[in-house]
Structure 1
Amino acid sequence: MKLLETLSIIAHDLTAVLGAEDRYQRLLEALHLAIPYDSAALLRLENDTLAPIAAKGLKPKAMARVFRRKDHPRLDIICGSSQPTLFSSDSKLPDPFDGLLDIDLESVHHIHACLGCPLLMREQLVGVLVFDAIDSTAFRHLPKQYVQVIASLTSAQIQTVELFSALEKEAERQGLLASDLMRDIQQQRGHEILGASAHIKRLRQEIELVAKSDFTILILGETGVGKELVARSVHNHSRRRDKPMLYLNCAALPTALAESELFGHVKGAFTGAVSDRTGKFALADGGTLFLDEIGELPLDVQAKLLRTIQEGEIQRVGSEKIQHVDVRLITATNRDLEQEVAAGTFRADLYHRLNVYPINVAPLRERREDVPLLADFFAEKARINLGLHQVRISEEALDLLTRYAWPGNVRELDNVISRSVLKASATQLGGKEVTVTPAFVSGDLNVQAPLTRSALEPVLAIGRQGISLKAVVKAYEIRLIKETLERNQGNWAAAARELGMNRSNLHNLATRLGIRKKGTGR
């Protein structure tokens, strides 16, 4: 009876007016009535990569991952099949969702039942539907024909979402130059804003609120907090989302060319102007222009930008013709513009025009609870870039990362994780899983790795025997240096970095403790 009830709910939802997220979640919930899964994931195929668009029973970080077919043999088999695939419970193939189920008690828990369905639309593969369960017999009773019908209805749901989305889209972006610029921007775009902290939730609410308007926005925050991501999120939630969003870094503009970059120029306007040039405002007409590092804009160009904001008009350098443009302006800075106004380096009237709706982006140190999610996302990105099988960050390393102040914010975290994964992969050759431990991150954070119980226990034992403090300290130093050298395969330079010491000072200390012979490299 539950089989028919499930089909009825899915068929009814096909004709309902629902958003994409609600439609997919209702689908997975309906399937749970008849399929005893512990987790279910709906993944969309883009080229050779599968990206989750809905999931139930998986940890939140699973939604931030992407799965390349060649890296995940089970997903590749499902994609290559024309019908549902039920994997044997003793299959040696790794499951892409190992360690990601909500019910897992360990960081890596092997799934025992896996059922996958290819999703076809007009005989073309568009995605897969994957069910996982700890119980190895969970899916054996399901009729194959029923599962096939489920796959067909799921494909129909995807098609319905795409048809509704197509009705809401505006015409194709105009102009070859604008298209080229948009491709460049898309490559720089990064990803969605990640995090579950109160700061991020409030930020998303602000973005959704102000995106509905055409207010000029000033994004404030330290370097590396993700101001460009905020700007793109505002654009993507606005009515201009199907028009261009162009990016210009004011700090990278030569003073002599700043006006031309913004407003364009005509042939012969100045030395080197061998042809007409369209400026960013004209290219972004109908869309959004994001001016990063607005505090670096020269004062004379600030006056012309003010006129454009007030009148919606631009004038190319060397031209007397006025052109009207409809552009939503978003700006960003890590400077205190009020201080710049007081110092006379930024126009007060322009500041007030830009500051219609300020958005403050919190530094990472004020939302430390987001660090584990971001770290996992960057580790997965590094895994793909390095072609590794599986990457995991240990709880001790996550604790170290969470306690760090992150002066470079999210950008610094990305760099630290990338380097740590690379270093960890070099020392764990042949293993299927690369584990990032405190030893691989502590050097970047200028802190010592947490002391292990194995390092402390012999020292504590000496202390309990009533031996002098000097002997206890010496025993601790010997044990700590030896363990650090062992972790770094005898590399003294690497050991010194982990211990936060100068290499020559470490050599001298080791010689004094009898660990290293004087004048040798050992």
Structure 2
Amino acid sequence: MEHQLLKDLSQELPDGVRLERAANAIRQAFVCDAVGLLSLDQHDTLHMMAASGLAHEALGRRFVVGQHPRFAAILSRHEPTWFEPGSLLPDPYDGLLDDRKGSPLPVHDCLGVPLYRDPDHAWGILTLDALTTGTFDEAARARLQQLVLTLQAAIRVTELERENRRLRQLGISQQGIERIGETTEILGHSEAIQSLLHELDLVADSDLPILLLGETGVGKELFARRLHRHSRRSRQPMVQVNCAALPESLAESELFGHVKGAFSGATSDRPGRFEAAQGGTLFLDEVGELPLGLQAKLLRVLQNGEIQRLGTDQTIKTDVRIIAATNRNLKANTQAGLFRADLYHRLSVYPIPIPPLRDRDRDILILAGHFLEFNRARLGLRGVRLSFGAERALQQYPWPGNVRELEHVISRAALKMLSRGASRDQVLTIEAELLDLDIPAEDNKPDDTQTRSTSSGAADQTGTATPLTLAEIPPLKQTVEECERHAIHEALGAAGQNWAQAAKALGLDASNLHKRAKRLGLKKGLGE
């Protein structure tokens, strides 16, 4: 295991890959059921950076250290902390192990150790869980202590690589560069979101006007804040204007300011949002809602780089970067005369579409995990998880309200459980019906596994399946393995033997697909 970690140090790997490979290697070396690598931010909150053996939703979890005694105990010591089987301290991973999804953990071994980026600053923690008691004996704890130095070196290399990539992209000094582990609150591992974040980071420092396009609820404000944070203006203010909420009579004053006596009630000079954002970024949210009269005045400001406060002819030079956002089709609105074409072209120098949640595949479960942990803490619950049926419902639903709707669905379901008498002292499992989602009819079809099990019986001359005798019924494990082999064969065939694409189609991580194929005896037969 140490050899693999050291080998990875000599390679430049994508963000997260090194940590994911480390988690998998540690799990195999210690023959345990789950491993988690969590980073600690400045707000004493742990973020799951990589995991092996934990449910996919765990990657969206945020754990406030003060709310989790086990994590606090691990961080309070420099050496490994072992929790005896039967420890009364609540386990943050209750219901999150892959093989025991939604169920409280039985008596088990738990081991954790803090990780440091330097002697005075903790990076986070490493946790190991084993359902077999006695797994983490004194020899295992001593071995983990020896491993820490190599793992901390892997973390430091990962941090340096991320900073170096950002510096190459931005061409600026290291001052102001955020460190790995500090959350941007843009959660997701899907190809769509990673491609978008890469594009945002490239254009962030260009000073070009950016137009963020996307459906309601996709989180356009978060992406605007990321653009500002990664730009040269990051030390200057970012000022947000909700154009849909601006009263037409006061909109000009809000944007450009006014002088005393400019109108009834103007008792003093007041700077507008452009002046407040001087040197920084002005975010015009829902810019498509601006009235036409104000659009003309905004266009003049963007053309000339000057504003005039209401009530005076004196001009003020402005230096702001404009980021606009809308859920409307501005191009169609210009053709309908609802939005000025010249202003549209000024704002959309670099348009960036934000993908809807339905196009972000497994990010739905990561985001759901984030909102589940938020509601667990807010409602004072021991734990709250999703059943497999609830996970499937979340992934089938088209999400017209996107991330905002997902947040509301999870919060509502957690409250429903409590209103129906669920105990805060138990690990609560949210079932699909509590989500109250209107799944399209075509998605409510039987599973392929059900179809295959029906067709597995002998067919008579009428084409209907005849029931098997008890002697003919194969062991359940054999039936499940046959279904898995068939599904993997089909996915690989459809993906042209591309394992990454096949894993995505099956809803698995690529590493997990390789492990399953090896366990099922498929790897050799498939040329791997």
**Interval containing the TM-score (normalised by the shorter chain):** 0.5 to 0.7
Instruction: Give the match for residue 175 of structure 2.
Output: 169
Supply the AA of the counterpart residue of 2:129. Answer: D
TM superposition shift of 1:306: 1.5
Looking at structure 1, the residues matched to 13 and 388 of structure 2 have their Cα atoms a distance apart, in angstroms, of 40
Aligned in 2, Cα 1:31/1:372: closer, same or farther, shift over 3 Å?
A: closer
Aligned in 2, Cα 1:325/1:52: closer, same or farther, shift over 3 Å?
A: farther
Looking at structure 1, the residues matched to 281 and 211 of structure 2 have their Cα atoms a distance apart, in angstroms, of 13
**Contact 2:94–2:104, Cα closer than 8 Å, also in 1:** yes
**Contact 1:368–1:403, Cα closer than 8 Å, also in 2:** no
Supply the AA of the counterpart residue of 1:276. Answer: D
TM superposition shift of 1:351: 0.8
Aligned in 2, Cα 1:146/1:272: closer, same or farther, shift over 3 Å?
A: farther
Looking at structure 2, the residues matched to 247 and 352 of structure 1 have their Cα atoms a distance apart, in angstroms, of 21
Instruction: Give the match for residue 208 of structure 1.
Output: 201
Higher relative CO (CA 8 A, sep ≥ 6), structure 1 or 2?
Answer: 2
Is the aligned partner of 1:277 residue 2:273? no
Secondary structure of the 2:250 match is: helix
Supply the AA of the counterpart residue of 1:221. Answer: G
2:128 pairs with one of 131, 138, 162? 131
Instruction: Give the match for residue 435 of structure 1.
Output: 429
**Contact 2:45–2:65, Cα closer than 8 Å, also in 1:** yes
Looking at structure 2, the residues matched to 192 and 224 of structure 1 have their Cα atoms a distance apart, in angstroms, of 14
**Contact 2:307–2:317, Cα closer than 8 Å, also in 1:** yes
**Contact 1:214–1:328, Cα closer than 8 Å, also in 2:** yes
1:401 pairs with one of 375, 394, 399? 394
Supply the AA of the counterpart residue of 1:279. Answer: G
TM superposition shift of 1:412: 1.9
Paired residues in the alignment total 427
Residue pairs, 1:54-69, within 5 angstroms: 54-55=50-51, 58-69=54-65
2:113 pairs with one of 117, 134, 155? 117
Aligned in 2, Cα 1:451/1:33: closer, same or farther, shift over 3 Å?
A: closer
Instruction: Give the match for residue 466 of structure 2.
Output: none
Supply the AA of the counterpart residue of 1:67. Answer: F
Instruction: Give the match for residue 51 of structure 1.
Output: 47
Moved more, 330-339 or 150-159: 150-159
**Contact 1:221–1:227, Cα closer than 8 Å, also in 2:** yes
Looking at structure 1, the residues matched to 19 and 326 of structure 2 have their Cα atoms a distance apart, in angstroms, of 38
Aligned in 2, Cα 1:277/1:20: closer, same or farther, shift over 3 Å?
A: farther
Looking at structure 1, the residues matched to 349 and 214 of structure 2 have their Cα atoms a distance apart, in angstroms, of 16
Instruction: Give the match for residue 169 of structure 2.
Output: none
Looking at structure 1, the residues matched to 305 and 154 of structure 2 have their Cα atoms a distance apart, in angstroms, of 43
TM superposition shift of 1:251: 0.8
Looking at structure 2, the residues matched to 71 and 115 of structure 1 have their Cα atoms a distance apart, in angstroms, of 18
Is the aligned partner of 1:311 residue 2:304? yes
Secondary structure of the 2:368 match is: helix
Aligned in 2, Cα 1:378/1:40: closer, same or farther, shift over 3 Å?
A: closer
Instruction: Give the match for residue 73 of structure 1.
Output: 69
TM superposition shift of 1:108: 3.9
Looking at structure 1, the residues matched to 189 and 20 of structure 2 have their Cα atoms a distance apart, in angstroms, of 20
Looking at structure 2, the residues matched to 370 and 7 of structure 1 have their Cα atoms a distance apart, in angstroms, of 28
TM superposition shift of 1:331: 0.8
Cα deviations across residues 41-66 of structure 1 (Å, max 9, x unaligned)?
A: 13315445323345555444323211
Looking at structure 2, the residues matched to 225 and 362 of structure 1 have their Cα atoms a distance apart, in angstroms, of 8
Secondary structure of the 1:193 match is: coil
Which structure 2 segments of 5+ residues have no match? 165-171, 178-182, 447-528
Cα deviations across residues 392-449 of structure 1 (Å, max 9, x unaligned)?
A: 122223333333343323222211221111101232533511121233222x64999x
TM superposition shift of 1:266: 2.8
Secondary structure of the 1:168 match is: coil
Looking at structure 2, the residues matched to 19 and 267 of structure 1 have their Cα atoms a distance apart, in angstroms, of 56
2:280 pairs with one of 284, 287, 306? 287
TM superposition shift of 1:355: 1.6
Is the aligned partner of 1:263 residue 2:263? no
**Contact 1:116–1:128, Cα closer than 8 Å, also in 2:** yes
Supply the AA of the counterpart residue of 2:429. Answer: T
Looking at structure 2, the residues matched to 84 and 307 of structure 1 have their Cα atoms a distance apart, in angstroms, of 63
Instruction: Give the match for residue 473 of structure 1.
Output: none
Looking at structure 1, the residues matched to 55 and 268 of structure 2 have their Cα atoms a distance apart, in angstroms, of 55
Cα deviations across residues 248-278 of structure 1 (Å, max 9, x unaligned)?
A: 1001111122122222223333322223323
Residue pairs, 1:192-341, within 5 angstroms: 192-341=185-334
Aligned in 2, Cα 1:348/1:397: closer, same or farther, shift over 3 Å?
A: same
Bigger-Rg structure (1/2): 1
**TM value normalised by structure 1:** 0.68
Looking at structure 1, the residues matched to 344 and 338 of structure 2 have their Cα atoms a distance apart, in angstroms, of 11
